[in-house]
């Protein structure tokens, strides 16, 4: 089993080698997200899905296969993140997901809190004694999963449930990993997953209706 030292060694090499591209990808992503929430059109939706597909593919290939390069990473983590990437690409054509702002005030509040926690990941990591390059950044598996859950939770019921469940599955691994690898900042991921699960359960009736409507529209084309 990988030790905490091995885990942080991977993080260090990954950050040293890819930080510039991580920053570039995040700047592009934030620009697309802002554009989408201002314009809300077909082009912005496609760009959003391309951003998430690209980032999950990057994490699956570069983080897990190239740098982590363990049996667990190569045969479980990487395929999971690549599958999520492919599902985002497919949704460009299926159009199950429609990214939007949350509608309720309480949901807006939780979205804001969890988004702030996501962007504070590197700061919290530093405060916990993990100095760069041995620190978590925004384009890593757990932080980016948390961010994606929050973005999709805001879009319920216009989501692809398959993507959402895959993200939740990863989120609930955050609690044991936080202690096994001494990455306590990943305690952010677990409550994000709990919030995402609650949103799924509370809105299950709307999700079923949205899924039935989508199937009907597909068959009638």
The per-residue pLDDT for range 62-96, each reduced to its tens digit, is: 999 999 999 989 999 999 999 999 999 999 999 99
Indicate the number of domains in the chain. 1
Rounded distance, CA 86 to CA 81, Å? 9
Asked if 137 and 143 count as a contact pair (C-beta separation under 8 A), the reply is yes
Q: Tell me the residue range of the domain where 151 lies.
A: 4-220
Q: Among 21-25, 92-96, 112-116, 215-219, name the one with the lowest average pLDDT.
A: 215-219
Sign of CA dihedral 65, 48, 116, 194: negative
Of residues 94, 98, 45, the one with CA closest to residue 218: 94
| pLDDT band per the 50, 70, 90 thresholds, residue 51 | very high
- Give residue-wise pLDDT tens across range 126-151: 999 999 999 999 999 999 999 999 99
| pLDDT band per the 50, 70, 90 thresholds, residue 2 | confident
- Any alpha helices (H) in the chain, and if so which ranges? 4-39, 42-58, 71-72, 78-94, 105-119, 121-127, 141-155, 161-171, 174-180, 189-202, 204-220
The confidence score (pLDDT) of residue 40 equals 87
Number of Cα atoms under 13 Å in the Cβ half of residue 13: 12
- Helical pair 141-155 and 161-171, crossing angle rounded to 10 deg: 140
| pLDDT band per the 50, 70, 90 thresholds, residue 205 | confident
Q: Is residue 215 scored above 60 in pLDDT?
A: no
Which residues, other chains included, contact 169 with Cβ-Cβ below 8 Å and sequence gap of 6+?
80
Asked if 206 and 157 count as a contact pair (C-beta separation under 8 A), the reply is yes
In this prediction, residues 53-61 reach a mean pLDDT of 98
> What does the angle CA 80 – CA 83 – CA 84 come to, to the nearest 5 degrees?
90
Q: Is residue 218 scored above 70 in pLDDT?
A: no
In this prediction, residues 39-66 reach a mean pLDDT of 97
Q: Is residue 188 scored above 70 in pLDDT?
A: yes
| pLDDT band per the 50, 70, 90 thresholds, residue 173 | confident
Q: Name the token pair of 93.
A: 């054509």
Sign of CA dihedral 141, 144, 150, 151: negative
| pLDDT band per the 50, 70, 90 thresholds, residue 206 | confident
In this prediction, residues 177-205 reach a mean pLDDT of 92
In this prediction, residues 1-26 reach a mean pLDDT of 94
Distance of CA 214 to the CA centre of its chain: 24
Rounded distance, CA 37 to CA 76, Å? 34
The confidence score (pLDDT) of residue 209 equals 67
The confidence score (pLDDT) of residue 1 equals 66
Which residues, other chains included, contact 151 with Cβ-Cβ below 8 Å and sequence gap of 6+?
33, 99
Q: Is residue 172 scored above 90 in pLDDT?
A: yes
Rounded distance, CA 26 to CA 174, Å? 22
Residue of higher predicted confidence among 78 and 205? 78
Asked if 53 and 90 count as a contact pair (C-beta separation under 8 A), the reply is no
């Amino acid at each position: 089993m990988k030790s905490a030292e091995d885990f942080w060694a991977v993080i260090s090499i990954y950050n040293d080698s890819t930080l510039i591209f991580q920053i570039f990808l995040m700047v592009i992503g934030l620009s697309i997200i802002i554009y989408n929430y201002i314009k809300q059109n077909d082009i912005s939706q496609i760009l959003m899905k391309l951003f998430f597909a690209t980032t999950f593919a990057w994490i699956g290939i570069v983080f897990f296969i190239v740098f982590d390069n363990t049996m667990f990473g190569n045969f479980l983590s990487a395929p999971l993140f690549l599958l999520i990437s492919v599902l985002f690409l497919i949704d460009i054509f299926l159009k199950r997901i429609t990214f939007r702002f949350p509608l309720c005030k309480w949901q807006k509040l939780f979205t804001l809190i969890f988004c702030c926690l996501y962007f504070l990941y590197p700061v919290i990591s530093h405060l916990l004694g993990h100095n760069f390059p041995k620190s978590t950044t925004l384009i890593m598996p757990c932080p980016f999963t948390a961010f994606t859950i929050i973005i999709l939770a805001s879009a319920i019921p216009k989501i692809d449930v398959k993507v959402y469940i895959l993200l939740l599955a990863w989120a609930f691994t955050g609690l044991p990993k936080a202690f096994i690898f001494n990455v306590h900042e990943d305690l952010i991921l677990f409550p994000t997953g709990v919030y995402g699960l609650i949103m799924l359960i509370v809105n299950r009736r709307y999700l079923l209706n949205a899924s039935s409507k989508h199937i009907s529209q597909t068959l009638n084309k």
